[in-house]
Amino acid sequence: MNITVVTVGKMKEKYWVQAASEYEKRLGVYAKVKSVEVPDEPTPDNASEAQEEAIKAKEASRILAQIKERDYVVALAIEGQAFTSEAWAEYLDRIVGQGYSSFVFVIGGSLGLHKSVLDRANLKLSFSKFTFPHQMMRVILLEQIYRAFRIQRGEPYHK
């Protein structure tokens, strides 16, 4: 299985980089994992709706360039579907059973994801109604994917 995590913007703080690297290493036992950071667009203070839409569209073109036709795309979105860890593990297992072997998880920038990315997504996934920094969200996402593999295999992992 191939897992790609596409994020808008770079991880800056060393502690987030280390945490993400740790989960990528752990996941390496189960899948080939790759992180892709696409550049974010600067957002001026008091940007208009039209400016924000244009910024999201530019970021979307960079995101969509990373996605292949056969990829199963999961876009992180507040309005998406929420799962328990166990249900998430079952969901991923079911999708793999449908023949998907390449997954792309997308984390948007400060303005969120453009409609074109959300429309391409096979699943819109929500971890909470809260908004999180993309660096933190990347670590949480990687941890939950790792947890899903452990649950699927009946391997011990803290609850």
| Separation between Cα atoms, residue 95 and residue 108, nearest integer Å | 23
CATH number for the domain that contains residue 139 = 3.40.1280.10
Specify if 7 maps to a domain: yes
54-81 pLDDT, tens digit per residue, is 999 999 999 999 999 999 999 999 999 9
What is the total count of domains within the chain? Answer: 1
Specify if 159 maps to a domain: no
pTM given for the model: 0.95
Q: Which domain holds residue 41?
A: 2-152
Q: Are 135 and 13 in contact, with CB atoms under 8 Å apart?
A: yes
Which is it for the CA torsion 40, 44, 48, 51, positive or negative?
Answer: negative
Specify if 29 maps to a domain: yes
Q: Are 7 and 35 in contact, with CB atoms under 8 Å apart?
A: yes
- Report, as an integer, the average pLDDT of 121-137: 94
Binding residues for S-adenosyl-L-methionine: 76, 108
Closest by CA position to 63, among listed 44, 51, 76: 76
Binding residues: 76, 108
Q: pLDDT confidence of 159, banded at 50, 70, 90?
A: low
Q: Per the structure block, which two tokens stand in for 3? A: 């897992």
CA triple 31-36-39, angle to 5 deg: 170
